Homo-oligomer: A and B are copies of this chain.
């Protein structure tokens, strides 16, 4: 999946003005609203904690990127029913359950600028809430008796869990390779994006031939998204991110800007990065020193260029479909993801 450095993909002209989210989501705003309603409905429970934590989660927002992609892909294929709203809710549930368990694992106390569920309710209840939401997702996905949908969702969920395991087992490792990094983000992020984009092909009348380009689109966009997300940890402010800058490194996670940089810098600078990975804190080394290092070596720009190539790859996959307003919305989505960077 990783585009090689020599792949001759012509970068399209970057638009003069940033993409507005309305340009992408305008045509599916009713479906997104229906998804929001279903999300809230399905998080109701006679167990008070589920009800409280569920509402806390839906109220804390989130970009609803995976539901939006699923709904756009469904619209691209001409669907206009309730089925895609169900599946949009399901992918958001799976994503949410993953975040909930990841926040326990990462000992995170902030997400989207608010306290995490584990911070508020403790790890034990939070483990169970994640289980409940995963199971609810599978339960809801059955609503239209489509076994293949669940098959794809469980496969994506297995890949995500494996990605997080691989990440965890290499936590604090200074020798994480570029290949390992891509294997992790592909599993952790790209697989669910890919499933979200291709599941509408299974809605009747099924469009199996559309699954390949939509899967390719989702996977490339997912990788693009994760690269940008990892870049933001270096470039965005705490206010923008809702969590501290360089929190990946502080959690022991090496991301691509530093993986690319490490073989190029002298031992003394490598040791600085290792010190943060080991201490899980900016004690012996300041965050600014790390930021100056990546700025000097230019690896943020290199990663941005790689993200741009994934964005191009995503757009190219859409050439399979005839031009339409929805195709255009899907085409500008990668640019919107890239715009977050700047």
Q: Tell me the A125-170 residues at the B interface (CB within 8 Å).
A: 125, 127-132, 134-136, 138-139, 142, 145, 147, 150-151, 154-155, 157-158, 161-162, 164-166, 168-169
Contacting pair A135 B158 (CB below 8 A) = yes
Instruction: Pick from B45, B139, B161: contact of A135, CB below 8 A.
Output: B161
Within 8 Å of chain B (Cβ to Cβ): is A262?
Answer: no
Q: Tell me the A229-266 residues at the B interface (CB within 8 Å).
A: none
Instruction: Bin the interface of chain A by size.
Output: 35 or more
Within 8 Å of chain B (Cβ to Cβ): is A9?
Answer: no
Contacting pair A168 B125 (CB below 8 A) = yes
Dominant secondary structure of chain A at its interface with chain B: helix
- Number of copies of this kind of chain in the complex: 2
Tell me, in angstroms, the Cα distance from A169 to B136 when the chains sit together: 21
Minimal beta-carbon separation of A134 from chain B (angstroms): 6
Q: Which residues of B contact A105 (CB under 8 A)?
A: 124, 127-128
Q: Which residues of B contact A10 (CB under 8 A)?
A: none
Contacting pair A147 B158 (CB below 8 A) = no
Please report A residues at the B interface, Cβ cutoff 8 Å.
Answer: 45-50, 97, 101, 104-105, 123-125, 127-132, 134-136, 138-139, 142, 145, 147, 150-151, 154-155, 157-158, 161-162, 164-166, 168-169
